[in-house]
Amino acid sequence: MSTSYKIAVVNGDGIGAEIVPAGVSVLKAAAKKHDINLELTDLSWGAGYYLKHGEFMPTDGIEQMKTFDAIYFGAVGLTEVDDTLPARDYTFKVRSELKQYVNYRPVKLFSGLKSPLRDKTEEDIDFVVIRENNEGEFVQTGKTMYPDQPEGMAMDTSIFTRFGIERIAHYSFKLARKRKNKVTNVTKSNTLINSLAYWDKVIAEVAEQYPDVEYNKMYIDNASASFVLRPEVFDVILTTNLFGDILSDLGGAIMGSLGLGGSGNINPEKEFPSMFEPIHGSAPDIAGLNIANPIGQIWSAAIMLEHLGETQASQDIIAGIEHTTAKGNLTKDLKGKSTTTEVAESVVNYINSSELVTS
């Protein structure tokens, strides 16, 4: 008997209308091969919805999302919409209200691709950035006062709680046990001597519960340099909301393109649905041209299936990506000539032609 999952599909804006359907075509192929029933429901939310209705989703949007097993999302934002609104009124809202406190962003050099780091290989670039997703610098607790006056001021407050730090730390150490048994805490506690010193203290306490996992601390400036000079030192990177946002984009760059990066906003306990999306934005400047790189979106589908427990289907998608990049089926951002559709079709064809392996 096949397993069924209810998936909310949110194209969002810009290139989302191209890369999400491309990803869905891959999802359907993997699901068919592995006898998985996907009930897909399209939700036309985002900045385009905002222009029509004055909000990024219906008032009961979060409650609607709670009825699904997962959310497959593209990107949000349009040039004609204030760019401070999409994060606050869509992305952060979903992540916080559905308790998606883990932002899982893998960094991996795919077969056939050359990293901008001239001496680095697939063995060197293979790690995961775990970004705390509900606290830290992006809680948007602050105020702007008298903005147009000489005495004007603005303030944002970072919030770190023991509860929030402990749960993301435990997730990271458990993940490291499945990989190469190494956690690097990326911090800046030598200057943020209250918030990040506390972050470090709590993580160090959690680390003592995992004596089999190597633990070390690295300041964000050193970590940024190490992404470029020695990415091979990393396995699981544990860091804050702001640092994780920046580092994961740098991770996309050393893979060769931001278009390659997939991610998951995860509620590990599965009390609420998790949301899976590429790390890049909506890129409205290239929307409608069928040239956007769909690999980050497709990889996000694999991360979603892995989260749902469909490991073999997830591995098939990743193998399909590897096959596609290895044969040079690449979009313009990777100096290739393939369209969005052609890249997705290549992955689908690989899945359809590869043998079904059962345990």
Residues with a catalytic annotation lie at 146, 188, 221, 245, 249
Between CA 290 and CA 241, with CA 104 as vertex, the angle to 5 degrees is: 105
First to last CA, the chain: 16
- Segment 95-98 long-range contacts (CB within 8 Å, at least 24 positions apart): 95/133, 95/134, 95/265, 95/275, 96/134, 97/62, 98/62, 98/65, 98/66, 98/265, 98/267, 98/272, 98/273, 98/274, 98/275
Phi, psi of 314 (to 5 degrees): -60, -45
- Report which secondary-structure segment, H or E, holds 299: helix 295-307
Give a three-class secondary structure readout of 123-187: CCCEEEEEEECCCEEEEEEEEEECCCCCCCEEEEEEECCHHHHHHHHHHHHHHHHCCCCEEEEEE
Nearest alpha carbon to residue 280 among 66, 54, 20, 3: 20
The H or E element containing residue 325 is helix 311-326
Residue 219 CB neighbours (<10 A): 16
Taking a C-beta distance cutoff of 8 angstroms, is the pair 41, 5 a contact? Answer: no
In angstroms, rounded to a whole number, what is the distance separating the alpha carbons of residues 298 and 149? 48
CA distance 276 to 263: 6
- What's the rounded Cα separation, in Å, for the pair 103 and 240? 10
